Structure 1
Amino acid sequence: MSEWEDPSVKILKQLKKAENQYVSGEELSDILGISRTAIWKRMESIKEEGFNIEAVTKKGYRLIKEEGGYGKKAPYGKLAVQSEVTSPVFGQNLIFFKEIDSTNKALKKLAAENAPEGTVVISDMQSAGRGRRGRDWASAPNLGIWMSVLLRPDLHPSLVQTLTLAASVAVMRALEQLGIEGMGIKWPNDIIINGKKVCGILTELSAEAERVDWVITGIGLNVNHTETDFPSDIASIATSLSMNVNKNTRLDRSVIAANIIDEMEKVYRSFIEEGPAWVVEEWKKRNITLGKRIRIINQQDSFNAEALDITADGRLIVRDDHGKEHHMYSGEISLRET
């Protein structure tokens, strides 16, 4: 068991592994190295998160999985997410809130207190969620995944933009498992489904002149929203995963959050080992921006251009209508396909 792993998570993993069969208290006691009384107490905490646990004398414990999942409303909490995580580091230290102002803000505080790399903060609701350029991000309860991940790369600050691209690649790799058509990355890191935004990523950092102290990647993903769940000002440009899978299907947010955490670690490790070029190529495979006519809007002016390529450090290369090339940073512009 890892330093951070809750025994309740270990128990839940064993019950899920048993696939609707009974697991004896004695067996669980041997696996975890704790008493059968302690096992019973842990079962109560698992039940409190919403899992249906059946206990039968001389048989043991069984996790009842109904058709389509663990009940109509799948449990969503620390135990539910961690029991699905397979990453050796990311998500092992996970803090879950029912409600918070901002997961990024909470993780910044933990980062300043030397929280380890891979620490994850998730909340069922955010009261002050933010997107890029200070925009508000609607983060209602029971609908989406509002999550932040802490990274401590040995990296020059100029390469953090590539980490932002890496985060979008990781989210895409996790969502590709759902088989949704028309999904891609709009530069630098918005996930779009058939022209509508389903996920936004906000990267924040603390750095010195030559060295990054920490990077926090905040992810806001619309999962089980319907058309009426979005505020009126974004209803025409926003979408959710369930709206593109099956409108009558409620997706399990715990499984999706865990898949994102797993992919974040895999992509991050590949970035560290293979460098920015690997991230750029993975991003290009999934992007919907390059080769398009776009409109660039920044604080000074706006102009039409063609999106040509991205650099190793994540800048977008565009050519305006006068033939001049520009290298754009994510914080400077807004893209609108023309």
Structure 2
Amino acid sequence: MTDPIRLLRELDAQHFTSGTAIAERLGISRASVSNALAQAEQFGLLLERRSGVGYRLSEPIDWLDAHTITQYLPSDSVLSISIVDTLESTNRQLLKTPHHGQVLASEWQTGGRGRLGRRWLAALGGGLMFSVAWQFNGGPAQLAGLSLAVGTLVAQTLQAAGVSTIGLKWPNDLLIQQGTDFAKVGGILIEMQGDALGPAQVVIGIGLNIAFPSHWQSELDQSAASLQAAGLRYQRNELLGRLLSNLEAGLMQFAQSGFAPLLPQWEALNVWQQQSVSVISPDGSTQNGVLLGLAADGALRLNTPSGEILIHTGDVSLRRA
């Protein structure tokens, strides 16, 4: 079966490209070209088709390029970047053989997921889906607050890129303010391997919506936003390069000092600070209270009618009351 992404790479938004020319260049049949490009909409893309002329993208795709991304990293970076067209999940792939500093980005994920097993959607060329493998010499206890630290670093990078309305929702969501409400624009999924005493092999998965097809909104259980609509100034390659540069520096600092130095910065980005919220457990039980902020280890401080309690991430969901 012909890979549609391989064929979509043959197209641009400025010129029409004939299906015959694509078939000859790739050594496949003209029917294979037609069948593969008919799947463009499932990737969130629209194609212009003209009989006897060919195909053209309605919007250009800024394909990821490892060389371009590397230009935004420091000269002594330990990161090694790999990019693939299609993968089930960058996190799952890296977890098989995690190597310190390995970065894996995929143009398209067939099984992308977020926290609590939720499906992650992103249009081809309209998002970033990547994972970073990192080794911490200590055990899992050293990693309290890691997802919050990563969220802070990502949000600060986006602020510098022009996204002034970016905010964080405990424990791992990135939100864009839209009027009095918020819509999700990204998420973080951290998975780890290792013994209690260390070292811990961690894979940090990050998904960001740069542009999001409006007709996909009905497939989600919450509102989604796009970074482009929120003022993003960077193209995909530059954004990924700057994210990786800041993440590398931040992860090295986290290994030394933990989450505590970033706590005030996280709380400054907290979209629901001092607001009434509900914490919903997997069994459906709910804790209501006012969100006070975070404890030093990243636990949520909730002021309830019975007094202040701490909520650790686990599998709970946070909603505004």
For normalisation by structure 2, the TM-score amounts to 0.75
Matching of residues 5-16 of structure 1 within 5 Å: none
Letter matched to residue 152 of structure 1: Q
Q: What is the correspondence of 1:77-92 to structure 2 with a 5 Å cutoff?
A: 77-86=65-74, 88-91=76-79
- Cα deviation, residue 156, structure 1: 3.1
Aligned to 1:169: 152
Deviation at 1:72, TM superposition (A): 5.2
Determine the structure 2 residue equivalent to 1:234.
Answer: 220
Identity %: 28
Letter matched to residue 298 of structure 2: G
Corresponding residue for residue 298 of structure 2: 314
Instruction: From the superposition, tell whether residues 158 and 290 of structure 1 become closer, same or farther in structure 2 (CA, over 3 Å).
Output: farther
Where does residue 34 of structure 1 map in the other structure? none
Distance 1:124 1:75 in 2: 8
Matched, 1:277 2:260: yes
Q: Does structure 1 retain, via aligned residues, the 8 Å contact 2:83–2:105?
A: yes
Deviation at 1:309, TM superposition (A): 2.5
2:112 pairs with 1:129: yes
CA RMSD, 1 decimal:
2.1
Among residues 152, 155, 160, which one is paired with 2:143 in the alignment? Answer: 160
- Looking at structure 2, the residues matched to 119 and 335 of structure 1 have their Cα atoms a distance apart, in angstroms, of 32
Report the equivalent of 1:213: 200
Single out whichever of 206-215 and 75-84 deviates more from structure 2: 75-84
- Secondary structure, aligned partner of 2:250: helix
Paired with 2:63 and 2:120, the residues of 1 have a C-alpha distance of 24
Letter in 2 for 1:299: P
Per the TM alignment, residue 323 of structure 1 is displaced from its structure 2 partner at its CA by: 2.3
- CA distance in structure 1 between the aligned counterparts of 2:96 and 2:165, rounded to whole angstroms: 38
> Does residue 81 of structure 2 align to residue 94 of structure 1?
yes
Change (3 A) 1:287 1:90: farther
For structure 1, the 5+ residue unaligned runs are 1-70
CA distance in 2, matches of 1:87, 1:330: 36
Is the CA contact (8 Å cut-off) linking 1:103 and 1:148 kept in structure 2?
Answer: yes
Query: What residue in structure 1 maps to residue 161 of structure 2?
Result: 178
Q: Alpha-carbon deviation of 1:179?
A: 2.3
Q: What is the DSSP-based 3-state SS (H/G/I as helix, E as strand, rest coil) of the residue aligned with 2:200? A: strand
Distance, in Å, in 2 between the alignment partners of 1:275 and 1:201 is 18
Compared with structure 1, are the counterparts of its residues 185 and 90 closer, same or farther at alpha carbon in structure 2 (3 Å cutoff)?
Answer: farther
- Please state whether the residue corresponding to 2:254 is helix, strand or coil: helix
- For residue 85 of structure 1, report the CA deviation from its aligned partner: 2.7
1:141 CA displacement: 1.6
The question of whether the paired residues in 1 share the 8 Å contact of 2:61 and 2:125 is answered with no
In terms of fraction of residues, the more strand-rich structure is 2
Secondary structure of the corresponding residue to residue 86 of structure 2: coil
Deviations 1:240-292 (A, max 9, x none): 1012228xx8x511111111101101211222233331122221222223311
Q: State the distance in 2 between where 1:258 and 1:237 align.
A: 27
Alignment of structure 1 residues 297-312 onto 2, 5 Å: 297-300=280-283, 301-312=285-296
Mapped to 1, the partners of 2:199 and 2:220 lie a distance apart of: 35
Q: Measure, in 2, the Cα distance between the counterparts of 1:84 and 1:188.
A: 28
The CA distance in 1 between the partners of 2:113 and 2:154, in whole Å, is: 18
SS in 1 for 2:108: coil
2:314 match: secondary structure: helix
* Residue type at the aligned position of 1:209: A
Q: Aligned AA for 2:127?
A: G
Which one of 84, 108, 114 corresponds to residue 95 of structure 2? 108
**Matched-pair contact (CA < 8 Å) for 2:292–2:303:** yes
2:250 maps to which residue?
267
Structure 2 distance, partners of 1:235, 1:182, is: 22
**Cα separation, 2, equivalents of 1:264 and 1:192:** 19
Structure 2 counterpart of 1:201: 188
Question: What is the rounded CA distance, in whole Å, between the counterparts of 1:291 and 1:236 in structure 2?
Answer: 22
Taking a change above 3 Å as real, the CA distance of residues 235 and 314 of structure 1, as seen in their structure-2 partners, is closer
d(CA) in 1 for partners of 2:62, 2:159: 21
Task: Say if 1:86 and 1:224 are closer, same or farther in 2 by CA, change over 3 A.
Answer: farther
TM-score, with structure 1 as normaliser: 0.71
Equivalent pairs counted in the alignment come to 258
> Measured at CA, do residues 328 and 140 of structure 1 come closer, stay the same or move farther in structure 2, by a change above 3 Å?
same
